[in-house]
């Protein structure tokens, strides 16, 4: 089985696993394709053992950067629907930040398990990561720790005593005024507007990878020569892709970790 990995590099990209009939049975991505495939073929996990028994050939594509690999993998899975990708989770993240309205009319930011039926504001790989981000957001937008479930008290939250909360926790600040700042955060968590080209390392030293967004919509990705600066030429290099919830999740996660 290891002989199938001959020529597979330790580089960023997507990989394809085929059965003996030439049918694509699995698509994956990794920052180290060779290492990830070795994990597939050495694992004792039930699903991995089924892939091992069926696998007959492996191919790959380099992408140059993990974001391009994530976007390409998502598109390929939707396009080909490989047998062993069908049951996998839609994203690599388990928690999201959601908006609720409490009985007093204040908007609440809450970390919850990812819900495929609802649009989340942000994505997190763990509850703890989400909690740390919620503390940061609450402080940055002068929101209330008590309302956001970060401080348990029957009276005002601790931040109110420090003048970092404007008193929504004890109804000193009106829901209308408080919710303006929550809505400002919610708008900031959307994908950026305008024409955006994200640039990354390419598949070779001579090129760069591009991810293209316009007015908050994902339009695709591509590659061009490293020295290209013209927006027209960058647009010509883009391969059009569908905008959907999964790619928006991937891109929101990227902007959360790497703000513009």
Tell me the per-residue pLDDT of 39-73, one tens digit each, with 9 for 90 and over.
999 999 888 999 999 999 999 999 999 999 999 99
From the CB of residue 16, how many other CB atoms can be counted at a distance below 10 Å? Answer: 17
The number of residues making up the chain comes to 260
- Domain end (from 188, 222, 241): 188
pLDDT in tens, 119-146: 899 989 899 999 999 999 999 999 999 9
Task: Look at residue 90 and tell me if it is in a domain.
Answer: no
pTM here is: 0.80
Cα–Cα distance list, 162 to 26, 59, 156, 166 (Å) = 54, 58, 11, 10
Q: 85, 107, 128: which is the final residue of a domain? A: 85
pLDDT confidence tier of residue 3, bands split at 50, 70 and 90: confident
Domain that residue 40 falls in:
2-85
Q: In terms of domains, do 164 and 236 share one?
A: no
Strands of the sheet with 13-18, listed across from one edge: 24-30, 13-18, 57-62
């Amino acid at each position: 089985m290891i002989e199938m990995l001959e020529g597979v590099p330790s580089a960023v990209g997507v990989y394809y696993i085929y059965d003996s009939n030439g049918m694509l049975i699995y698509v994956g991505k990794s920052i180290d394709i060779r290492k990830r495939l070795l994990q597939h073929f050495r694992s004792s996990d039930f699903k991995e053992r089924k892939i091992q028994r069926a696998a007959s050939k492996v191919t790959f594509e380099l992408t140059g950067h993990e974001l391009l690999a994530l976007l390409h993998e998502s598109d390929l899975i939707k396009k080909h629907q490989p047998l062993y990708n069908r049951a996998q989770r839609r994203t690599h993240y388990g928690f999201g930040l959601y908006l609720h309205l409490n009985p007093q009319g204040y908007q609440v930011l809450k970390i919850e398990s990812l819900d495929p039926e609802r649009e989340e504001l942000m994505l997190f790989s763990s509850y703890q990561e989400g909690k740390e981000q919620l503390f940061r957001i609450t402080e940055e937008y002068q929101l209330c720790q008590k309302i956001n479930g970060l401080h348990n008290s029957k009276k005002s939250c601790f931040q109110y005593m420090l003048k970092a909360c404007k008193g929504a926790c004890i109804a000193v600040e009106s829901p209308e005024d408080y919710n303006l700042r929550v809505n400002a955060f919610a708008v900031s968590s959307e994908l950026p507007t305008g024409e955006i080209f994200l640039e990354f390392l390419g598949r070779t030293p001579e090129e760069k990878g591009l991810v293209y967004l316009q007015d908050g919509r994902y339009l695709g990705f591509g590659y061009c020569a490293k020295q290209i600066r013209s927006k027209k030429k960058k647009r010509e290099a883009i391969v059009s892709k569908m905008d959907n919830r999964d790619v928006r999740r991937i891109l929101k996660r990227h902007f959360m970790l790497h703000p513009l």
